[in-house]
Structure 1
């Protein structure tokens, strides 16, 4: 469990560091105002960037359990953890509705 936390944290840091560089190179490659040589060089640098620098490399995981299958994007918790927090009253203004 600790290894997964550490690996996930390391992946997020590398993406955060290289996000601006990736964005700038992507914008240059899509812009028609630059010369063909500049566009070609930016595309070349993009292909040689580490694949871990891409946002798609990060998988969304629950903050408490590291579960990625039942992840809820609105709360950053997995569904069972979210229901436990609501049931215990730790998340305000949420309650179970029954018909």
Structure 2
């Protein structure tokens, strides 16, 4: 699990590093007032960026278990971890309904 968490942290760091350049290139590519040849150059420059610098590569992961499915954004916990901590009374304001 730790390997997945570290890989996700690495991808997030890479995204943060290239975010401004990627947004600038995308804005220039979508600008129709720029000639087509120049926009094609911007597209090839965008393709040279690392794939992991894309936002779609980032996954929400549980901070305790590293699980990537059914992660709640407000607490960054998976449903299993949330239920576990909620039944132990570790999360304030979370009441047990019918667990």
C-alpha distance in 2 between matches for 1:4 and 1:19: 22
CA shift, 1:71, in A, is: 2.1
**Deviation (angstroms), 1:73:** 3.1
Superposition RMSD on alpha carbons, in Å?
Answer: 1.7
Higher RCO structure, 1 or 2 (CA under 8 Å, sep 6+): 2
Query: TM-score, normalised on structure 1?
Result: 0.83
Task: Find the counterpart in structure 1 of residue 66 from structure 2.
Answer: 66
TM score, norm. by length of structure 2? 0.83
Contact 2:61 2:68 in 1 (8 A): yes
Cα offset, 1:85, TM superposition: 2.0
Q: Which runs of 5+ in 1 are unaligned?
A: none
Count of aligned pairs: 98
Post-superposition offset of 1:44: 1.2
Superposed CA offset, 1:19-49 (max 9, x none): 1111111111111122323322211111221
Map of 1:23 onto structure 2 = 23
2:35 is matched with which residue? 35
In structure 2, distance between residues paired with 1:28 and 1:90: 49
In the TM superposition, residue 53 of structure 1 has moved relative to its aligned partner by 0.8
Give 1:77 deviation, angstroms.
Answer: 0.7
Aligned to 1:40, what secondary structure does the other structure show? helix
